[in-house]
C-alpha cells in the first residue's frame, strides 16, 4: 500500500511541470490592429498582430484575403526592433470597404508553431 502511494506521487511530480511548460510557451495572438472582429470607418495603413511570446520573423507571417477568400497582396511581414512579439504587415493600397480575413502563422522563440485567423471590417 505504501509503495503504491509513493509511485503515484512520483508520477504526478514528473508529469505536472512538463504539462504546464508546454501550455505556457506557445505564442498566441493577444491583440491586433485593426482589432479582432472590429468594424472601423477608416482603412488601416498596416496590420499589426501582437502575440503572447516573442516570435521568429523568418518563420512567421500573415496573409490577407477577402471574406469570399480572394487573396489580397500585402507587403512582407516583419517585426520591429523594439517589440519582437509584434508582427507588422504593410498594406500597399487602401482597402475598399468590406470584411477581410487575416490568416497568421508564427513560430515562437521556443520553436513551437501556432496559427489562426480573424476578421475585421471596414465600414462603407
CB of 20 to Cu ion, least distance (A): 12
Interface region with Cu ion, contact rule CB under 5 A, candidates 3-11, 28-36, 40-48, 105-113 = 105-113
Secondary structure of the chain in the HEC alphabet? Answer: CHHHHHHHHHHHHHHHHHHHHHHHCCCCEEEEECCCCCEECCCCCEEEEEECCCECHHHCEEEEEECCCCEECCCCEEECCCCCCEEEEECCCCCCCEEEEEEEEEEECCCCEEEEEEEEEECC
Determine, following the binding rule CB under 5 A, whether residue 54 of this chain makes contact with Cu ion: no
**Nearer of residues 74 and 86 to Cu ion, judged by Cβ:** 86
Determine, following the binding rule CB under 5 A, whether residue 65 of this chain makes contact with Cu ion: no
Determine, following the binding rule CB under 5 A, whether residue 101 of this chain makes contact with Cu ion: no
Determine, following the binding rule CB under 5 A, whether residue 112 of this chain makes contact with Cu ion: yes
CB of 25 to Cu ion, least distance (A): 3
> Which residues have C-beta within 8 Å of that of residue 56, sequence separation ≥ 6?
106, 107, 108, 109, 111
CB of 79 to Cu ion, least distance (A): 17
Among 43, 66, 85, 110, binds Cu ion (CB under 5 A): 110
Determine, following the binding rule CB under 5 A, whether residue 26 of this chain makes contact with Cu ion: yes
| Residue ranges binding Cu ion (CB under 5 A) | 25-26, 110, 112
Amino acid at each position: 500500500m505504501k509503495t503504491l502511494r509513493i509511485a503515484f506521487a512520483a508520477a504526478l511530480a514528473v508529469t505536472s511541470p512538463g504539462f504546464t511548460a508546454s501550455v505556457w510557451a506557445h505564442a498566441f495572438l493577444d491583440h491586433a490592429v485593426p482589432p479582432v472582429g472590429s468594424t472601423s470607418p477608416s482603412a488601416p495603413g498596416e496590420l499589426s498582430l501582437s502575440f503572447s511570446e516573442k516570435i521568429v520573423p523568418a518563420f512567421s507571417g500573415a496573409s490577407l484575403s477577402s471574406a469570399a477568400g480572394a487573396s489580397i497582396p500585402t507587403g512582407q511581414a516583419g517585426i520591429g526592433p523594439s517589440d519582437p512579439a509584434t508582427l507588422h504587415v504593410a498594406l500597399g493600397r487602401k482597402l475598399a470597404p468590406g470584411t477581410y480575413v487575416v490568416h497568421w502563422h508564427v513560430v515562437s522563440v521556443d520553436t513551437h508553431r501556432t496559427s489562426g485567423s480573424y476578421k475585421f471590417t471596414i465600414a462603407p
